[in-house]
Structure 1
Amino acid sequence: MEFAYNGSGREIFIYQRYYNGYLQTPYKTETFSFTWYWQNDNREGLVLKYGSNDFIYFDDVWVRNDYLSGVFDGVKSTFTNSVILN
């Protein structure tokens, strides 16, 4: 997921297979654009809008440097900057 300061964002899915213990070259990538805003002034929840009536809620948000966690559409989730994982 990518969040821009201007309230835009992208959700990116990269599909790869493992073969003989190694991650293969991606065979498919999907990108979905959204706009986002804080639910309230406490900044503990995000609303992601994908279309006219297509919303996902990200509750109990915790943001630190390259780390984002919370309850994403009902599922406890953690996101990190992929660059720091390598």
Structure 2
Amino acid sequence: MCNWVNKSGVVTIVLFVFCVVFFSCEEISFGKDQDTAEMLCNRVWVDFYDEDDYTECRRELSFYLDGGGIIRYDYYNIYTGDLLDTFSEYFYWDWNIYGHSIDMEFSDGYSYFDDIIVSGNYLSGILDGYKVTFTDGYLLD
């Protein structure tokens, strides 16, 4: 070691580097990166589920980069395929602080989409307590 650097000088330099590296950064973001948001937002996500013994629902979920979104429900008679009803609702969304869940604010309350995975043409996770897998709607049409 150089003669001009003593033991306390080394400690000072190490502390200085530690402080610069760990405390000089701006706020650390725990949210999803831009690529993930774009993968989420540039599609209409579709899934199907049985509402009851006679009704199947096609659910479409769309997220926009500005924080808006829309969910649409199309209800069909399971036996005839006839469209029974359609319902759409707008919402605002944001990643939660940990970046693996989305909070969706509707006019009458909140929905939560947890443990989100966007992979290829699929969006999966737990939506309001139910495990779901959405498919890119482009593949279904």
Normalized against structure 1, the TM-score is what? 0.80
Q: Which amino acid aligns with 2:93?
A: W
Match of 1:46 in 2: 102
Match of 2:70 in 1: 10
Return the offset for 1:61.
0.6
How many aligned positions are there?
Answer: 81
Return the offset for 1:9.
0.6
Return the offset for 1:66.
3.0
Match of 2:86 in 1: 29
Calculate the aligned-residue CA RMSD, in Å. Answer: 1.8
Larger Rg: 2
Match of 1:76 in 2: 131
Q: Report the identity percentage.
A: 31
1:57 aligns with 2:112: yes
Off by >2 Å, runs of 4+ in structure 1: none
Match of 2:17 in 1: none
Return the offset for 1:83.
2.6
Normalized against structure 2, the TM-score is what? 0.52
Q: Which has the higher strand share?
A: 1
Q: Distance in 2 between matches of 1:10 and 1:49?
A: 11
Stretches of structure 1 that go unaligned for 5 or more consecutive residues are: none
Q: Which has the higher helix share?
A: 2
